[in-house]
Chain A
């Protein structure tokens, strides 16, 4: 058989256009065979091919053991293949890793530099905590290897060791530090150390402060820009801890900014000044002003440089950092930043978009929002079809190679694509989200003109992207996916919070609800924006009195609601009734015209509601059933009410003028802070723990099992028992009821049903009998007997004593305004108005006096916020290395004697010792117990078990005090009641040990500077 080399494989692949998959599968099969053979060279070749195919996603985890085989080859080229395969295919859970350990150690100690380099490069990819510890001893000597290339790789490998097993850094760190402080060290080693420290730095910056002088020298003295960048990045994490560094760093950093030719260094210097809080710490001084001017000026120039979008991008990134602390500084550069919002490059646009949210103020809000809005309305909405096309176009062909040839022609981007591409939907959503966020910031602090805002909101609806998978039945639509719900809640917010704008907000909602406007105001050819109808439906219902066209609204509801998602439909049902009650409750005379109008209205609503009573969404169903009855009642009331003749005044039916409106009237709804509900104190006498009926479960179970048994019996009877023949045979005359004639003249037998006997008592008896027969038949519904559920209910009720008195349930009055003085809505509104007024005076801008209601809450909102934060726990992202253990490791702790690693080993040893002692003790005491009587023995055993347990516990962190243990060992042998003594001893020893442990824990902290 011919063996293929990697070269042959690739060539073959290039020839197999169209059926690469088969070719690859065949090749893998070949490799499987080759790799199982004896020839190591052949194995290596097969492995290299597999590694190549792994790149395209062909799993090779099955070959892990063969990887190991090739890794242990004596020929360097083969070994290299093995190591490469290990790097590419081993995962932390690969089982053969354990076997690799010795090989790695051996290769690390090799004399050939090339061979040492192989494990050094591979270890970061395969390391796990248990390996880390044992490889450490082989790695450390490599730090002083004569070849700098080995030294620098060792340093990085040690860093990766520390990531998985932080303890390894303790012995490694002094040696790494030594390398860094050595002025004669090779520059690339120094640079590698700086890179590593930069990675470690943000985890425990305080440990690296002592290095500051050396790093500073490196920053000033070195010509290596790569390293300077890293040092600046490192200093940015150190300066917050050591304010004195700021003064020291300022001159070199400013000089770098002024003189360097390397743009990357310039950028990092500016970035470092911002990130390290230097800008903030020198704020206010003339020096600081100059620095801010310098930095921002440079950033501005970076944005302005023609033809380098990368600089634009990173400059915006830095602006973003500044804007959180100095929004006003950034807003000076609003002009250039706003240009970036319209940049054709989506990356830059995204950055600019994030930036403007931070720098928005009452002066530039309108400009920014208008600009974004134009962007949204100008570009067409990406449709489903387009999305599909796009993904199809960019489907990846993972193998094969056909495009290589045409590659050059592909290079030129097609200009047509750049013209007016539809905005990607996620970008669109982001823009809308940011617009809403900017406007609503600090409860509309920046907003002067609410009419403009409502107008913006309406326009945003039109710009909503299409939403996928909203089916009309799904009641649990994911709101976070549909931005239009957010727009809707803004309408709601404005209407509820800004009382003076309520009519306008309601009018806006009305225009959106009206079906005639649907074409015009909503995105065409897609279902985008629909979510806004939920809030709008609520608004037109809640503030029905503000409506200018209630009839139109009602018509729209009746015509369009049925096609809407269930959650919106439910809201619309509520709103519909509210609107009707508003329309009908006028106090004019009950004229024939009005009666006709009202009954007609009711009729239409009933007609609309009727098909909904079995809607698939439960809420819709419930509302439909309720309102259907209500409307029927109202309709009847209308027809029954006599109408007024000419001139005389007649009252409209009370149901529609008083009762129905009363259903919806009540307290006005105010905004409530998210956490407020949780802060309502639970009344002391409210007991949520005690079951209302402790017996309930047993009752239910009993009922259940009874029914089951009986049912079972009946079934058995039916199937297995031969029924007694009722009419055995016609000639058997002995039986009393044998003949038909006899039966016909019955009457003497009271129990049989006779056509003559219809006395009530007989019927009753019959009924009782039937009931008795059927009482356990679950499918039999008795006519007048209480049903099973009713029985259950009555059981519960009787055991509860009196029937529940609902009025007796205490309802706590919520003294909202009293308990939160500074959060009283009116107060806040006043304060805000005052603030706004002051600001207005200062700026000389005109602002209508608008009262905005803030959230109602109890106490302060901190608690709730904290809770929310806790919930927002960051999910570990892909590609993320978990190094949380490293953050807890203190490098300064190494002075306190033993290493943790050694300590742990010692502990393990001690544990083993204890275990051995325990066994001995057990044996000894068993011998003693054998002599004693049974009762005592049992007692002692218990006591002894306890004692030994405690012993184990205590000795766990043992630090060489075996004397105590030996004593313990001897005692059980000596006399019978020894176990009791040991208990005493153990508890005596306890506090001492505890103290010790505490000392151990606190010591490193105390020593850290």
Chain B
């Protein structure tokens, strides 16, 4: 199952945290910062699987049965424009399918806010959570179909429009699209699960 879904930007600023097992807030933050250290060190062409962060790593004395199905053993991430999407999961999830899942998540967001960018996610905190809740409940994937996800979120109410920068206020609106949407995953489609 999926243990946690995280979204943060290139500077490590959080945009979404969702833990499917309850953790202390301080432990959550430590885990996040460890993952950020790992992920931000990776060159762009590296693979999308992280080694386990120290806080999750099995203690050196008990590495004998590290493949136990209940322990989080997989940290998968994808990097879109300014954002990192991270999924922590156990070995019952398929690593390649998880990458696709992140892709679906981002595509769903892209549908919700035409040409989604980090800015949308900052200000539409609730919609971000709602979208994830349509896909994953209690750590189990419940929906992977793009249309149904978008439909599900929209059924809950209007998705707010992007708050257009009120003039001088936020002059440098970040509209770096989480693009490369097509180019990164869908385009080459080597390991698409769908």
Contacts and interface: CB of A to CB of B under 8 A. Distances in A.
Given A153-B142, A226-B194, A413-B44, A314 B96 contact: yes
Given A347-B50, A403-B9, A880-B72, A264 B142 contact: no
A877 B58 contact: yes
Interface in B109-124: 118-119, 122-123
Given A80-B126, A199-B1, A226-B194, A344 B10 contact: no
B71 A350 contact: no
A880 B29 CA distance: 17
Interface in A48-67: 48, 51-52, 54-59, 61
Contact of B155 (A54, A113, A120, A418): A113
A878 interface: yes
Contact of A404 (B82, B96, B129, B157): B82
Contact of A310 (B49, B72, B194): B49
A417 B44 CA distance: 12
A588 interface: no
Nearest to A195: B140
B100 interface: yes
B183 interface: no
B94 A229 contact: yes
Given A55-B16, A91-B24, A124-B20, A407 B118 contact: yes
Contacts of A218: none
A156 B20 contact: no
A389 B74 CA distance: 28
Interface in B154-194: 155-157, 163, 169-170, 172, 174, 176, 188, 190-194
Interface string B10-38: 11111111111111111111011100110
Contacts of A229: 94, 97, 193
Interface string B47-81: 11111000110111110110011111000000001
B152 A875 contact: no
Given A84-B126, A157-B138, A403 B10 contact: yes
A879 B17 contact: no
A360 B23 CA distance: 41
A873 interface: yes
Interface stretch (A5-13, A515-523, A665-673, A756-764): A5-13
B172 A263 contact: no
Contacts of A10: 122-123
B94 A879 contact: no
Interface in A294-318: 305, 307-314, 317
Contacts of A869: 64
Given A310-B49, A408-B176, A403 B138 contact: no
B9 A404 contact: yes
A399 B152 contact: no
B58 A874 contact: yes
Interface string A876-911: 011111010000000000000000000000000000
Contacts of B61: 872
B45 to A, nearest CB: 7
Contact of A347 (B12, B25, B46, B118): B46
Nearest to B141: A195
A403 B13 CA distance: 9
Interface stretch (A390-398, A532-540, A637-645, A739-747): A390-398
A880 B71 contact: yes
Interface size class of B (residues with CB under 8 A): 35 or more
B40 to A, nearest CB: 6
B22 A263 contact: no
Interface string A168-196: 00000000000000000000100110011
A938 B122 CA distance: 77
B147 to A, nearest CB: 11
B96 A310 contact: yes
Interface in A337-396: 344-348, 350, 390-391, 394, 396
B191 A262 contact: yes
B134 to A, nearest CB: 8
Nearest to B74: A317
A230 B133 CA distance: 20
Given A48-B126, A407-B10, A417-B43, A879 B170 contact: no
Contacts of A48: 125-126
A309 B47 contact: yes
A208 to B, nearest CB: 14
Most B CB contacts (10 A, CB to CB) among A153, A156, A202, A396 go to: A396
Interface size class of A (residues with CB under 8 A): 35 or more
A400 interface: yes
B86 interface: no
Contacts of B96: 263-264, 267-268, 310, 314
A310 B9 contact: no
B88 interface: yes
A875 B71 CA distance: 10
Contacts of A55: 14-17
B194 A877 contact: no
A264 B194 CA distance: 9
A344 B47 CA distance: 10
Given A124-B20, A192-B140, A264-B100, A879 B3 contact: yes
Nearest to A418: B43
Most A CB contacts (10 A, CB to CB) among B4, B118, B122 go to: B122
A198 interface: yes
Contacts of A310: 47-49, 95-96, 99, 191
Contacts of B100: 226, 264
Contacts of A120: 137
Contacts of A693: none
A149 interface: yes
Given A156-B137, A879-B88, A125 B20 contact: yes
B26 A57 contact: yes
A792 interface: no
Nearest to A887: B70
Contact of B140 (A90, A196, A265): A196
A396 B12 contact: yes
A56 B36 CA distance: 14
A76 interface: yes
A44 to B, nearest CB: 11
A7 B160 CA distance: 12
A411 interface: yes
A55 B121 CA distance: 13
Contact of A400 (B13, B138, B194): B13
B56 A877 contact: yes
B62 A875 contact: yes
B115 to A, nearest CB: 15
B37 A391 contact: yes
A457 B62 CA distance: 27
A493 B85 CA distance: 48
A2 to B, nearest CB: 16
Interface string A694-716: 00000000000000000000000
Interface in A72-96: 76-77, 80-81, 84, 87-88, 90-92
Nearest to A198: B92
Most B CB contacts (10 A, CB to CB) among A76, A398, A404 go to: A404
B152 A149 contact: yes
Which 5 A-B residue pairs are closest in the complex by CB-CB distance? A124-B138, A263-B191, A403-B11, A309-B47, A264-B96
28 contacts: A14-B170, A48-B125, A54-B25, A76-B157, A90-B22, A160-B138, A188-B145, A191-B144, A199-B92, A202-B69, A229-B94, A229-B97, A262-B192, A264-B97, A264-B100, A267-B94, A309-B47, A311-B191, A345-B42, A345-B46, A396-B32, A396-B36, A404-B11, A874-B58, A874-B65, A878-B23, A879-B72, A881-B21
Given A87-B129, A124-B138, A407-B176, 14 more contacts: A54-B25, A55-B14, A55-B15, A57-B29, A159-B140, A226-B144, A229-B94, A309-B45, A347-B47, A394-B37, A396-B12, A396-B32, A398-B14, A407-B10
